[in-house]
């Protein structure tokens, strides 16, 4: 069989006809997972066996660590280490930061009705709300859900709409 199109321009129903395929029977995806001590990719993410690692992904710079890096030097976009092996003064360069110049906090506030956080609480613009927090389950209520079932860490309702027998799960 001869290749006619690249993946970007292939038509619906077309499959890859060359290159290594996942070792799982019937799977045609490209493998990227294998044993940590090997360079041979055997399975795709869906069929990777327990203990296998993503062989093509960048790894933490600490010898022997197979975690993905998220931490790097402030001002840099290059992730070098995982959180466990990050050096003093390094910050998480993978996660989005507050849109205020010089602020390194994670954003949680954005325009109401969107799910995209843009600023931290300190730098949020007027009218912005916490778009990361779960909202009250009562129809039409946009307050933060902090009350839920005992033993759960998931808020379902705000203080105004909480049901009998549920507790503040944030401070439980």
What are the residue ranges spanned by the domains of the chain? 1-56, 133-172
- Binned at pLDDT 50, 70 and 90, residue 172 comes out as low
Instruction: Show Cβ contacts of residue 57 under 8 Å, excluding neighbours closer than 6 positions.
Output: 32, 68
Cβ(97)–Cβ(119) below 8 Å: no
Residue 164's pLDDT is what? 87
Residue 1's pLDDT is what? 62
Number of neighbours of residue 15 by Cβ within 10 angstroms: 9
Lowest mean pLDDT among 3-17, 25-39, 126-140: 3-17
Token pair of 2, please?
A: 């001869």
Q: By C-alpha distance, which of 73, 70, 77, 42 is closest to 56?
A: 42
- Binned at pLDDT 50, 70 and 90, residue 62 comes out as very high
- Better pLDDT: 30 or 3: 30
81: pLDDT strictly greater than 90:
yes
Stretch 52-67: mean pLDDT, rounded? 88
Token pair of 38, please?
A: 């090997």
Lowest mean pLDDT among 8-22, 56-70, 125-139: 8-22
Residue 152's pLDDT is what? 84
Cβ(55)–Cβ(68) below 8 Å: no
- Using the 8-state DSSP alphabet, how is residue 47 labeled? T
Distance (Å, whole) CA 147 – CA 157: 5
């Amino acid at each position: 069989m001869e290749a006619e199109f690249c993946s970007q321009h292939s038509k619906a129903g077309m499959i890859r006809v060359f290159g290594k395929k996942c070792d799982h029977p019937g799977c045609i995806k490209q493998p990227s997972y294998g044993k940590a001590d090997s360079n041979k990719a055997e399975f795709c993410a869906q069929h990777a066996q327990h203990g296998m690692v993503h062989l093509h992904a960048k790894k933490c710079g600490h010898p022997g660590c197979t975690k993905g890096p998220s931490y790097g030097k402030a001002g840099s976009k290059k992730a070098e280490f995982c959180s466990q092996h990050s050096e003093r003064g390094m910050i998480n360069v993978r996660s989005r930061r507050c849109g205020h110049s010089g602020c390194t906090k994670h954003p949680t506030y954005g325009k109401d009705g969107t799910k995209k956080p843009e600023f931290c609480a300190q730098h949020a613009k007027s009218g912005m709300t916490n778009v990361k927090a779960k909202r009250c389950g009562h129809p039409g209520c946009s307050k933060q859900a902090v009350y839920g079932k005992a033993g759960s860490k998931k808020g379902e309702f705000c203080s105004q709409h909480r049901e009998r027998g549920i507790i503040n799960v944030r401070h439980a």
